[in-house]
Amino acid sequence: VSRRIRLGMVGGGQGAFIGGVHRIAARLDDRYELVAGAFSSDAARGRASAAELHVAPDRAYASGEELAARESARPDGAEVVAIVTPNHAHAAPAIACLRAGLHVICDKPLCHTMEAALELAGAVRESSALFALTHNYTGYPLVRQARDMVAQGVIGAVRVIQVEYPQDWLTTALEETGQKQAAWRTDPARSGAAGSVGDIGTHAFNLAEFVGGQRVGSVLAELTSFVPGRRLDDDARMLLRFEGGARGMLWCSQVAPGNENGLRLRVYGAAGGLEWAQEQPNLLVHTPFGEPPRMIRRGGAGASPVAAHATRIPSGHPEGYLEAFAQLYRDFAEQILARREGRAPDPACQLVPGIEEGLRGMRFIAAAVESSRAGSTWVVLG
């Protein structure tokens, strides 16, 4: 009987959002079992969460650092730890885990400051453990297929990359109502120098690079806070120059009424285009120049092996956000098992974002903030 990978978690107690997503993602393909957690900085809430989550009381810890220390000392201890706290609380527990030899799955953006990010990157470099960053939209099968099609030259030399990520949930001053998610995301102390840019702009940026196959060389941005009293940007508009010659735009917003989670990517090359939208993730539109557009559907005709690797059920049976998120967990499981067994992992499982993507996201945030402060000048990404 094969055994599941033992998982710990930092954050994600009662009232949290993304922690629950990570747990479903870990469970969905049955590669993990949750064995330990530092679910909350509030001890009672942490214990209550543990009980709900089938975690033994003695493995509910007060902090990520304690979890790292205690679990790494157990023969049946957690092998990998998911960090699902607000941004400012990523680095410390992640570093503690890495130093204790535990693999880490960290939510994005990497950290709230560049300093913390660099320190964390150092810890990754020095550790023998693996590090994954949950830019979960890269787990969608048709996103991966789009990336592959671009790399194969199907649309020719890439010219234009348009990416946008509008939402509407911060259209009003939700943070003033005590709503927990809004509160920390609009607080510079916990979120960092950027609001919408860090929260969702980084996803859009990551997706553009992941699919487009070119790194962003420089950014020109204007960040705006439309809601009175808000301390961080809730809308940002940017021009992008890619290193391979492509040009593009990025828009992220949390004040665009009617948009729920409207991440959308369009890539145009000399020979065709590709269009994908997160809210219709089972469809990739391929527009070869001079031919009728083709609707490639997950699991259907035209879906490639790259997409098939990241799909579970037949076409027409929609997979969604949770399945895409789970794909990162599933692929990372293969990396962990390969490491454990001293073999090379399945190459199909190597697309999980890691510390490099994390650092690029931080540089993107820094460049966007700097550009906007300078009145919208081109800023080179470090």
> What residues numbered 21-60 form the site for a copy of itself, per CB under 8 A?
21, 23-24, 27-30, 50-57
The SS3 call for residue 193 is coil
Q: How far apart are CA 355 and CA 90, in angstroms?
A: 13
Site for a copy of itself in 93-152 (CB under 8 A): none
Q: How many degrees, rounded to 5, is the angle at CA 312 between CA 311 and CA 314?
A: 90
Q: Is 79 in the site for a copy of itself (CB under 8 A)?
A: no
Q: Is 291 in the site for a copy of itself (CB under 8 A)?
A: yes
Query: Of 96 and 296, which CB lies nearer to a copy of itself in the complex structure?
Result: 296
Q: x-or-dash pattern for a copy of itself, window 156-175, by CB under 8 A?
A: ---xx-x----xxx-xx---
Query: Of 10 and 60, which CB lies nearer to a copy of itself in the complex structure?
Result: 60
Are 194 and 204 in contact by the 8 Å Cβ rule? The answer is: no
Query: Of 115 and 279, which CB lies nearer to a copy of itself in the complex structure?
Result: 279
Q: How far is the CB of 190 from a copy of itself (least distance, A)?
A: 20
Beta strands in the chain (DSSP E): 5-10, 32-38, 80-83, 103-106, 131-133, 158-166, 216-224, 235-242, 247-253, 264-269, 272-277, 283-288, 294-297, 379-380
Q: Which of 48, 114, 183, 271 lies at the binding interface for a copy of itself (CB under 8 A)?
A: 271
Cα separations (Å) of 231 from 39, 199, 220, 223? 28, 14, 21, 11
Site for a copy of itself in 2-21 (CB under 8 A): 2-4, 17, 20-21
The SS3 call for residue 16 is coil
Query: Of 75 and 375, which CB lies nearer to a copy of itself in the complex structure?
Result: 375
Site for a copy of itself in 312-341 (CB under 8 A): 312-323
Q: Is 184 in the site for a copy of itself (CB under 8 A)?
A: no
Q: Is 374 in the site for a copy of itself (CB under 8 A)?
A: no
Q: How far apart are CA 80 and CA 215, in angstroms?
A: 30
